[in-house]
Amino acid sequence: MVIDAEETKSSLYSKNEVKGPMFKIKKDPRLTKFGKIIRPLKLDELPQFWNVLKGELSFVGPRPLADEEMRSNPEWREMRLKVKPGITGMWQVENNDYRSFDEWIHWDTYYVTNQSLILDIKILFKTITSLSKLIFDKDH
């Protein structure tokens, strides 16, 4: 992201592609040239492995969100805070496009109430599968 990405965000709200408090733009103008290359390949996630090593993140769990996104639904907020946030999760593997915030809540809630080693393995497998399609699919 460019240096003033947060300050610029307010002027881009009309271009938000997600229903709800979440802010996402597929072709975000705040991305740097380098960011435009690494984001589609999900390489911008690599620094988060450091957070896994530090114990701040898990490989699988609800994605960390901005404070403004967390405030929108206190009940859901408390539920998702019961588990450690993760690099990948249900929402990422079940809805790999931009959809509504309600769907994000649904998948995070599903994960928290059904968390298990088997579910984590399934999510990791789906994550690896979708990443390999991104990297090796010539039509993408």
| pLDDT values of the chain reduced to their tens digit, one per residue, 140 residues | 888 778 888 788 788 877 777 778 878 888 888 888 888 777 878 888 999 999 999 999 988 777 777 777 777 778 888 899 999 999 888 865 556 777 888 888 899 999 999 999 999 999 888 877 777 775 55
Domain spans of the chain?
Answer: 5-136
Residue in 70, 79, 66 with CA at minimum distance from that of residue 108: 79
Give residue 98's pLDDT.
Answer: 59
pLDDT of residue 138: 55
- Determine contact, residues 62/85, Cβ cutoff 8 Å: yes
Phi-psi region of 66 (alpha: psi -120 to 50; beta: other; left: phi over 0): beta
- Model pLDDT, residue 139: 56
User: What is the per-residue pLDDT for 79?
Assistant: 84
Q: By C-alpha distance, which of 59, 60, 69, 130 is closest to 105?
A: 69
